[in-house]
Amino acid sequence: QVTSFAEDRYERMQYRRSGRSGLRLPAISLGAWETFGGYRGEEVARACLYRAFDLGITHFDLANNYGRPAGNAEKVVGKILRDMPRDELIISTKAGYYMWPGPYGDGLSKKYLVASLDQSLKRLGLEYVDIFYAHRPDPETPLEETMAALDLIVKQGKALYIGVSNFTGAQFEEAVAITKQMGLAPITIHQPYYNMLGRGPEHNLFDHTLRAGSGVITFSPLAQGLLSTKYLGDNIPSDSRAAEWWDKQHAERMLTPEKLEQIRGLNKIAQERGQSLAQMALAWNLRHKAVTSVLIGASKVEQIEENVAALKNLEFSEDELKAIDKISPV
């Protein structure tokens, strides 16, 4: 039985075309990595997915290896999706990182991609996903094989669109050329890491995706929660990712004094704009013409509400952009 959702949900969100494709995505999308089926269970996941959909977030992102144990995120989210209207949702998953032992459980071979997606569909309880990604580059597999495998998956109806993630501009360019030469399904979307503390794609990716007409959905737009005020106090909050998911060494690597200083500076600019830092970070990602959607994570419903409210102010003055560049140079 499908749950009922807010009738005005599509008025609450902006939808943006993924490159030159027919697919429109919500400006804000929601991912499950580490949170759902990881340090948050089914109850929180359900509350977050329902609230997100009520606010017009139609796109949920997964991967074969998300959750603990790997695959648990797809199981948890899949169970919730059974109560949601499938045709109003864009569900993505990926393969490319280690999933099972032996030569066929990692990388981008045809064998791994096809087998992994079949497993994902079972865990999700779906007949198809909307987007299937090559999760990361695999220099040992010919890109022709990978792109042909993605095309096969589309022809079989197991995915509607294909994407690549974590590819450099050069790798992306090569993949695009192969799809053209071989007449394969086009790359509808690229999923790179991009945020105010990590601006690499401005150097080496966005020109390529714009030229190719592919969309971009940026992951970790809040730098895993660093682009908020939660780590600016004396103690790491006990309900944060740093406390719940990272070991001490990883937390120390992530939360360096230099980074916290940058975050403090950015927070001042956000306050002057009348936005929270998280809101400004999302608006800042969306300012770039290459970016279709920002792919957030959330450990509570309130974060989704706060983040969607970022859409109230997406404009930046030249002075604001310069002040941000000074703290976080391109």
Which residues sit at the interface with ligand NDP, rule CB under 6 A? Answer: 31-33, 35, 61, 135, 165-166, 191, 219-225, 228, 230, 240-241, 278, 295-299, 303, 306-307
CB closer to ligand NDP out of 68 and 322: 68
Q: How far apart are CA 324 and CA 330, in angstroms?
A: 10
CB closer to ligand NDP out of 155 and 264: 264
Q: How far is the CB of 310 from ligand NDP (least distance, A)?
A: 9
- Do the beta carbons of residue 16 and residue 27 sit within 8 Å? yes
CB closer to ligand NDP out of 179 and 191: 191
CB closer to ligand NDP out of 160 and 308: 308
Q: How far is the CB of 190 from ligand NDP (least distance, A)?
A: 10
Q: How far is the CB of 296 from ligand NDP (least distance, A)?
A: 4
The string of DSSP codes covering 213-253 is T-EEEEE-TTGGGTSSSTTSSSS--TTSHHHHT--HHHHHH
**Residue among 222, 216, 217 at smallest CA distance from 198:** 222
Q: How far is the CB of 13 from ligand NDP (least distance, A)?
A: 16
CB closer to ligand NDP out of 179 and 276: 276
Strand segments (E) across the chain: 15-17, 24-26, 28-31, 59-61, 90-95, 129-134, 159-165, 187-191, 215-219, 293-296
Q: How far apart are CA 190 and CA 214, in angstroms?
A: 7
Q: How far apart are CA 115 and CA 71, in angstroms?
A: 14
Q: How far apart are CA 306 and CA 309, in angstroms?
A: 5
Q: How far is the CB of 87 from ligand NDP (least distance, A)?
A: 22
Q: How far is the CB of 191 from ligand NDP (least distance, A)?
A: 5
**Residue among 247, 209, 224, 222 at smallest CA distance from 307:** 222
CB closer to ligand NDP out of 146 and 240: 240
- Do the beta carbons of residue 39 and residue 7 sit within 8 Å? no
